[in-house]
Structure 1
Amino acid sequence: MVIMEYRRFAPDPRLSETVEHYWLIVAPAPVEEIRAVLIPNGRATVQFCLGEPGHRLRPGTTSVELNADVLLPVTTDPYVLVQSGPSHYVGVQFTPWGAATAWHDAPREPTPIGDVATGHPTDAALKDDLCAALDRWLLAELSPGPVRGRRDTVVSAVRMVDQDTEGHTVASLGATLGVSTATLYRAFRRWIGISPKEYLSVRRYERFMARLIEQSRGNSPAMLAAAAGYADQAHAAREFRRHTGMNATAFRDRLDGIAEMMFRDMPPR
């Protein structure tokens, strides 16, 4: 996909623990229908379609869903985005715990945003000033009062993993934070929707993806796997196929605009 415009925007500072950034994608209609891989990154997103909606597929299934005005929860599986018309999408990328902060019972499956929130910005408001519209909406959605349920434990664990994907295990995270493995699992399920082991896997894989995209075609998969913290190349290959639905070489050789967009501004880890 040729990205004509891709931009990120900072949310209101009062949303800093809930939202990482807002984003905008605008692109012309492709000459031929495109299929781009949306890879998991440990963050839920809400996306609004202000143009012609595409569709969303799950590799290995027959599921086909309209890709518009939807909450996409944290997942370990990829989506394939299918677009034949022009693109105009606006979205929210939450912190890993952000969706559960905004909505206590945030769904674990892709859900129309109208079934999740009490209201949401109109297309006209998003086109006029997307930051102001999204800020007003999400500030109204947040519940007042203290946050309970070991969110602080999850925040600390996530920050440790994101800073060093290869230096931690579930056991070491629990030991450092002074909680049991069972407590850590319950907290991750409550606030993120996946287990700490799955979160580690997603973030390690994402680092591998970033290196794969950055490196030239001459670098060996074994070197890239080692750089991402995998035990061996076979482990990296299994995780890559699990999270993208294809092998690393096939993905590298058909790098699509969505993947490049997601990793272009990623800070090195």
Structure 2
Amino acid sequence: MSWEIARPSRALALRGFDMAGFRIHGGGSESLRAIPHPAVTVLLEFGDSRFDIDDPAGRVRAGSLALGLIRDPVPLRVEALECVQVRMSPLAASAVLGMPVSELGGTLVGLDELWGRDAARLCERLHETPCWQQRFALIEATLAARLHDRHPADPEVAWAWRRIVGSRGRYRVEELAAEVGWSRQRLWSRFGAQVGLTPKRAAKLVRFDHAVHRLVQGQAPALVAADTGYADQSHLHRDIREFTGAPPASAAAEPFLTVDDRAWPSAGG
């Protein structure tokens, strides 16, 4: 299976968003898996694509999709795929998708269910657009329009999320609550409603994501465990198995992780 990956030629003006274009071709259908990542993902499919993906409820979906903050790997089968994938902070996702991230949860939703005919019109325009950079510009304008005049997350929730991401998951909930001036219960409740995960679960996902990308880079599990805040190597192994369903060596070879250094250069940094 061959992968063509395109990146925007400039940084996005929209904070909390990242994009990559994918053109995937193979000699037949290949089974892959989407691995949990600390972002809400939108897949905008616009080419001669042949793929399907199993959502956590057991339904088979295809086409343009929104994927919440999943807890387990999601199987998909790909023969060919041409798409732009957008990763967005859960702080912005509610406004963009038009529904609370907590309601999206760890599920897959067809983009037409959220945007109606606007989803099909956008994908038609992407199909007619001749190059990746123009596609990225079109999507950025669409996202900016959907963000306009929408209610942002509570400043305290936004601050807590950015602390968790900036510390790579090594922030205690009690410390976050104290620093924003809320009780632990209030932070837990408001964060869960606006991000879709509890602060503890969000920190666990962010730490896993950082650790697994270091494994993909070829670093030794013992070193990764020590440097990323795990109690020991077996603790790291448990989290890897929980989020990927595979041991560290197998997880480090997952195709959607191994292409991240090209599609999302900051993923493992």
Determine whether 1:99 maps to 2:102. no
Question: Deviation per CA, 1:101-157, whole angstroms, max 9, x where unpaired?
Answer: 322435222111111124224333113132343234323323516x3652x222211
- Please report how far the alpha carbon of residue 82 of structure 1 lies from its aligned counterpart in structure 2 after TM superposition: 1.6
Partner in structure 1 of residue 22 of structure 2: 25
Structure 1 CA distance for aligned equivalents of residues 160 and 44 of structure 2: 30
Partner in structure 1 of residue 65 of structure 2: 70
Partner in structure 1 of residue 108 of structure 2: 110
Q: Which amino acid aligns with 2:199?
A: P
Q: Which amino acid aligns with 2:142?
A: W
- Please report how far the alpha carbon of residue 262 of structure 1 lies from its aligned counterpart in structure 2 after TM superposition: 2.2
Identical-residue share of aligned pairs (%): 20
Equivalent residue in structure 1 for 2:74, among 72, 79, 92 = 79
* Contact 2:4–2:24, Cα closer than 8 Å, also in 1: yes
Q: Normalising by structure 1, report the TM-score.
A: 0.83
Determine whether 1:160 maps to 2:163. yes
Q: Kindly tell me: are residues 174 and 11 of structure 1, through their superposed partners in 2, closer, same or farther at Cα, counting changes over 3 Å?
A: same
Q: Kindly tell me: are residues 53 and 195 of structure 1, through their superposed partners in 2, closer, same or farther at Cα, counting changes over 3 Å?
A: farther
Aligned length in residues: 255
- Please report how far the alpha carbon of residue 32 of structure 1 lies from its aligned counterpart in structure 2 after TM superposition: 4.4
Gaps of 5+ in 2: none
- Please report how far the alpha carbon of residue 9 of structure 1 lies from its aligned counterpart in structure 2 after TM superposition: 6.1
Structure 2 CA distance for aligned equivalents of residues 139 and 98 of structure 1: 10
- Please report how far the alpha carbon of residue 231 of structure 1 lies from its aligned counterpart in structure 2 after TM superposition: 0.9
Partner in structure 2 of residue 235 of structure 1: 235
- Structure 2 SS opposite 1:25: strand
Question: Deviation per CA, 1:77-118, whole angstroms, max 9, x where unpaired?
Answer: 2222321x2221112211131111322435222111111124
Partner in structure 1 of residue 83 of structure 2: 89
Q: Kindly tell me: are residues 40 and 9 of structure 1, through their superposed partners in 2, closer, same or farther at Cα, counting changes over 3 Å?
A: farther
Partner in structure 1 of residue 140 of structure 2: 135
More deviation, 259-268/33-42: 259-268
Structure 2 CA distance for aligned equivalents of residues 214 and 175 of structure 1: 36
* Contact 2:44–2:64, Cα closer than 8 Å, also in 1: yes
Partner in structure 1 of residue 51 of structure 2: 54
Partner in structure 2 of residue 37 of structure 1: 33
Q: Kindly tell me: are residues 263 and 179 of structure 1, through their superposed partners in 2, closer, same or farther at Cα, counting changes over 3 Å?
A: farther
- Please report how far the alpha carbon of residue 190 of structure 1 lies from its aligned counterpart in structure 2 after TM superposition: 2.1
- Please report how far the alpha carbon of residue 215 of structure 1 lies from its aligned counterpart in structure 2 after TM superposition: 2.2
Structure 2 CA distance for aligned equivalents of residues 32 and 176 of structure 1: 53
- Over the aligned positions, Cα root-mean-square deviation in angstroms equals 2.5
Q: Kindly tell me: are residues 226 and 134 of structure 1, through their superposed partners in 2, closer, same or farther at Cα, counting changes over 3 Å?
A: same
* Contact 2:208–2:240, Cα closer than 8 Å, also in 1: yes
Q: Normalising by structure 2, report the TM-score.
A: 0.83
Q: Which amino acid aligns with 1:57?
A: D
Q: Which amino acid aligns with 1:171?
A: E
Gaps of 5+ in 1: none
- Please report how far the alpha carbon of residue 268 of structure 1 lies from its aligned counterpart in structure 2 after TM superposition: 5.7
Q: Kindly tell me: are residues 263 and 175 of structure 1, through their superposed partners in 2, closer, same or farther at Cα, counting changes over 3 Å?
A: farther
Q: Kindly tell me: are residues 167 and 194 of structure 1, through their superposed partners in 2, closer, same or farther at Cα, counting changes over 3 Å?
A: closer
Q: Kindly tell me: are residues 179 and 213 of structure 1, through their superposed partners in 2, closer, same or farther at Cα, counting changes over 3 Å?
A: same
Structure 1 CA distance for aligned equivalents of residues 210 and 167 of structure 2: 10
Q: Which amino acid aligns with 2:195?
A: I
* Contact 2:33–2:76, Cα closer than 8 Å, also in 1: yes
